[in-house]
Amino acid sequence: MKTIIEPFRIKVVEPLKMTTRAEREAALHRAGLNVFLVPAEDVLIDLLTDSGTGAMSSEQWAGIMRGDESYAGARSYYRFEDRLREVTGFEHVIPTHQGRASERILFELIGGPDKTIPNNNHFDTTRANIEHSGARAVDLVIDEGRDPKSRHPFKGNIDLDKLEALFKEVGAEHIPCVMVTVTNNSGGGQPVSLENLHAVRKFCDRHGTPFFLDACRFAENAYFIKQREPGQGHRSVAAIVREMFDLADGATISAKKDGLVNIGGVLLLRDEALYGAAQNLLILTEGFPTYGGLAGRDLEAMAQGFEEVLHEDYLHYRIRSTAYLGEKLLAQGIQIVEPPGGHAIYIDAAEFCPHIPKAQFPGQALVCALYLHGGIRGVEIGSVMFGEHAKMELVRLAIPRRVYTQSQIDYVIEAIGEVHARRDRIRGLRITAEPPVLRHFTARFAEV
Ligand code: F0G
């Protein structure tokens, strides 16, 4: 059947505020044409991020009530630990308040000056935490991963030749780990194949180097493997997930993605000494090892979320509905990063607005146009975010998990199509105020 049906029904609803174009114009001008500064209430369909924005299930909400708020040894912690051990096979499970807290602890321990850490593509916070430790972060995704039109099935794969060249250049003793991000968020939400993960494992064994996963979207990645990798179609997603984790020496996870919760993170380790050191740092800044900066109820919600995310009817709906948005945009002649990723669709804003030069931020201009026309909030990933280092001018539409219905996505498709039909009216922007770092969050703009 072609219709994608949501494999859940709705028990609680949150009304959306309908706004007029005049109200959105006023809100956007108050925000200096930066949608990060627009109150969420004034947004109709919020596709800013898929992180922490998902809907929890009735079982997760039941867990919230069961949460054990004991400081040490809470029942909820043991449920969480058991679930993570079952799903990932890791013995040492550290809870943190979100992904970047796991990253900060890990890189404080293994990073530092003179160190280089490769990845397919580091996510911003991963790169920032590595650089904060004094180390260098290097992106080594395969060339197809940088080409928006390439239909390679695993565009998130890391390039083993580039990895070999990096080891020759800096020496294995300066590389404390090889990381791979699944799925590759900064590269368009593209998956990494099992074959590639096995190859990285072999490579790391040859050099005696630990292998870490940034596993935020591990279930979406495993589902792509089941769909696309030869010989994997008959296996359960749970078995593929287990194989992915079995290949790694450790993992950082933001549970705000495939943990299906609004807050939470995990650090998984095998090495005994590293585990001890990580626990000490955790106590210093996050909390006691059995709660790690979270409430007991949050641990309950995670224990349940890490189980639900492996349901294959959920994953089918999830990956299909993201692809649906991408395919409908392509059918309207709107170029996106192909093929559609797992959690988001990335519109090629340079193609959408060929009349706006890079220096006038076509991505940010399109983000404003989508908000003004349809109350839709996306995010610019281009020259505003990365300055002169930007390789593409993209607008990301990230899909919160289990939140929007198919008719709401149809509305998004229709609204973007209408903006596209009148795209010559979109005007370029200039920056009127910007902070010294991470300017995309707070910069203000004016039309040129
Ligand atoms: N790694 C990846 C691949 C991510 O996508 C994110 C967050 C993090 C680490 C950090 O996790 O936010 O829990 O500290 N990505 C969000 C996004 C913010 O919108 O893509 P966090």
For residue 191, how far is its CA from the centre of ligand 1 (angstroms)? Answer: 16
Which residue type sits at 66? R
Residue closest via CA to ligand 1's atom 19 equals 49
For residue 130, how far is its CA from the centre of ligand 1 (angstroms)? Answer: 14
Is residue 184 within 6 Å of ligand 1 at its C-beta? no
Is residue 120 within 6 Å of ligand 1 at its C-beta? no
Buried residues in 152-163 as b, exposed as e (16+ CB within 10 A): bbbbbbbbeebb
> What does the pLDDT look like over 13-38, one tens digit per residue?
999 999 999 999 999 999 999 999 99
| Residue 187 pLDDT level (bands cut at 50, 70, 90) | confident
Residue from 53, 104, 216 to probe ligand 1 pocket by mutation (most atoms less than 8 Å from CB): 216
Name the CATH architecture for the domain at 21-50+312-447: Alpha-Beta Complex (3.90)
The CATH 3.40.640.10 portion of the chain extends over: 58-308
| Average predicted confidence (pLDDT) for the chain | 96
Average pLDDT value for residue range 69-80 = 97
Which atom of ligand 1 approaches the CA of 344 most closely?
Answer: 20
Looking at residue 1, its pLDDT comes to 74
Looking at residue 58, its pLDDT comes to 98
Is residue 123 within 6 Å of ligand 1 at its C-beta? yes
Q: Let me know: does 45 contact 376? Beta carbons within 8 Å.
A: yes
Give me the CATH code for the 58-308 domain, please: 3.40.640.10
Is residue 83 within 6 Å of ligand 1 at its C-beta? no
Query: Considering just the CA atoms, what is the radius of gyration of the chain in Å?
Result: 22
For residue 441, how far is its CA from the centre of ligand 1 (angstroms)? Answer: 15
The angle, 0 to 180 degrees and rounded to 10, between the axes of the packed helices 296-308 and 58-66 is 150
Is the pLDDT reported for residue 220 higher than 90?
yes
Residue closest via CA to ligand 1's atom 4 equals 123
For residue 376, how far is its CA from the centre of ligand 1 (angstroms)? Answer: 21
Is the pLDDT reported for residue 74 higher than 90?
yes
The reply to whether omega before 15 is within 30° of 0 (cis) is no
| Residue 250 pLDDT level (bands cut at 50, 70, 90) | very high
Residue closest via CA to ligand 1's atom 21 equals 99
Which atom of ligand 1 approaches the CA of 51 most closely?
Answer: 16
In angstroms, what CA-CA distances link 437 with 105, 128, 132, 241, 441?
22, 11, 13, 36, 9
For residue 163, give the nearest of 142, 147, 145, 184 by alpha carbon.
142
End-to-end CA, the chain:
48
Looking at residue 355, its pLDDT comes to 97
Q: Let me know: does 442 contact 37? Beta carbons within 8 Å.
A: yes
For residue 266, give the nearest of 278, 256, 252 by alpha carbon.
252
Residue from 125, 129, 221 to probe ligand 1 pocket by mutation (most atoms less than 8 Å from CB): 125
Is the pLDDT reported for residue 69 higher than 80?
yes
Residue closest via CA to ligand 1's atom 12 equals 99
Structure tokens at 205: 């064994």
> What does the pLDDT look like over 296-324, one tens digit per residue?
999 999 999 999 999 999 999 999 999 99
Residue closest via CA to ligand 1's atom 5 equals 185
- Please state, for a pLDDT cut of 90, what percent of the chain lies above it: 94
For residue 254, how far is its CA from the centre of ligand 1 (angstroms)? Answer: 6
Is residue 138 within 6 Å of ligand 1 at its C-beta? no
Average pLDDT value for residue range 194-211 = 98
| Residue 63 pLDDT level (bands cut at 50, 70, 90) | very high
Is residue 218 within 6 Å of ligand 1 at its C-beta? no
Question: Which residue(s) pair with 446 in the sheet?
Answer: 430
Residue closest via CA to ligand 1's atom 10 equals 99
Is the pLDDT reported for residue 4 higher than 90?
no
The CATH 3.90.1150.10 portion of the chain extends over: 21-50+312-447
Q: Let me know: does 213 contact 339? Beta carbons within 8 Å.
A: no
Which atom of ligand 1 approaches the CA of 398 most closely?
Answer: 19
Looking at residue 3, its pLDDT comes to 86
For residue 338, how far is its CA from the centre of ligand 1 (angstroms)? Answer: 21
| Residue 330 pLDDT level (bands cut at 50, 70, 90) | very high
Is residue 126 within 6 Å of ligand 1 at its C-beta? yes
Looking at residue 223, its pLDDT comes to 98
Compute the distance between CA of residue 204 and CA of residue 197 in angstroms, rounded to an integer.
Answer: 10
Compute the distance between CA of residue 53 and CA of residue 330 in angstroms, rounded to an integer.
Answer: 26
Is residue 51 within 6 Å of ligand 1 at its C-beta? yes
Is the pLDDT reported for residue 120 higher than 80?
yes
Q: Which residue, chain included where needed, has tokens 């979270």?
A: 294
The model carries a pTM of: 0.96
Looking at residue 224, its pLDDT comes to 98
Is residue 49 within 6 Å of ligand 1 at its C-beta? yes
